[in-house]
Chains A and B, each alone.
Chain A
């Protein structure tokens, strides 16, 4: 299985019936495909929509109806539209149960860097800083290491930050790690891996949970 799919499937297990959730672009939004059937989880698009439906068929495309990645989407029974002030009242006001964001770096204080690489192209933070600051629970869905195999879970972030002490949980293809006041706690490891395997590619020190589990997806 593709590592990104593994991450998305594990992230989906954090959802509960009745949750309002914002999924960021990339791996986070893939989690929508694995929310268990019958569970009503309402997805938000920060451009002004609650209740995002699937991508449209070609003859259903409506240019007035797009998600936060500017792709056409559809509405579902219960969908609502609202302006951007209402959207960020939901986000910053702590009304989102979960925000799932991608990550470039996360450190042991729960600091997040995911919007800018100095010297590289200028993208902007969009709503990322607001989502990181305001959600009840921030989950980072990212591959465990960089393409070059370097750790992304660090003692201290090196890239420009998105938010300080904002991350609650990190889900990678190798592990599920909780950020606690006492540091990073390794909660789950992928089948066939040991905590030592995970620590080898993690710069920050991991404390192994007494009830360590195996990721089951």
Chain B
């Protein structure tokens, strides 16, 4: 078994216009930078993108929005990307706001074979509009539907040819969940290592979830909001 592909362009060979892509990352942290660039090169458009944030206009998912490749966003926090907000206000991009925890759970359910679930988050708010409300043990919950992608773009720290993945620090975020819920899951890693060299106890995403893997290049790893402290 060998899931290795040559590069990002080879990895998205099957990507099509109108596809739904789950993009890992929290803002600009943990982004599949090489895959986003490959989509720009390929010219794919009318995408539905599932990601918690939209990053910045020049990076990650934000770049796909700036390049007018995105038709619909499913996210919890599009704020801070003004160019994206303008496209939403102008009606060019449709947006489906989902609270962060509900978003994770929708994708987790999608990967776990669960079609829908009840959650307390959003009861009595605009999020509940049009959704079934049900009471359990005297408390109200809304029903949320599972969510899956045609593709998932995952960025990990290390991986092997079976697709076993290890993430690093908070760059892990949504990616292990996203990796379970798409028809074709692509992982780009900073370091492709020999099979057997990752500690089995420390693998975050078992390779069963991953379809293709390659070693990325030229990571920028943009920091969205720089704050440092000064030495006394």
Contact = CB atoms under 8 A, between A and B. Distances in A.
Interface residues of A, number: 49
Nearest to A56: B228
Contacts of B230: 57
B227 A122 contact: no
Contact of B29 (A46, A47, A57, A134): A47
Interface string B9-51: 0000000000000000011111000000000000000000000
Counting chain A CB atoms within 10 Å of each CB, the highest count among B52, B221, B228 belongs to B228
B6 interface: no
Contacts of A49: 169-170
A92 interface: yes
Contacts of B120: 92, 133-134
Given A47-B170, A130-B100, A70 B177 contact: no
Contacts of A61: 223, 226, 228
Interface stretch (B61-69, B74-82, B206-214): B74-82
A45 B102 contact: no
Nearest to B73: A124
Interface in B72-130: 75-80, 82, 85, 88-89, 95, 97, 99-102, 104-105, 108, 119-127
Given A64-B30, A70-B224, A127 B100 contact: yes
Interface string B197-232: 000000010000000000000000111111111110
25 contacts: A48-B26, A56-B228, A58-B228, A63-B29, A63-B222, A64-B30, A64-B221, A66-B27, A66-B29, A66-B223, A70-B29, A83-B175, A84-B52, A85-B105, A85-B108, A87-B104, A122-B78, A123-B77, A123-B78, A124-B79, A126-B100, A129-B121, A161-B125, A163-B123, A164-B125
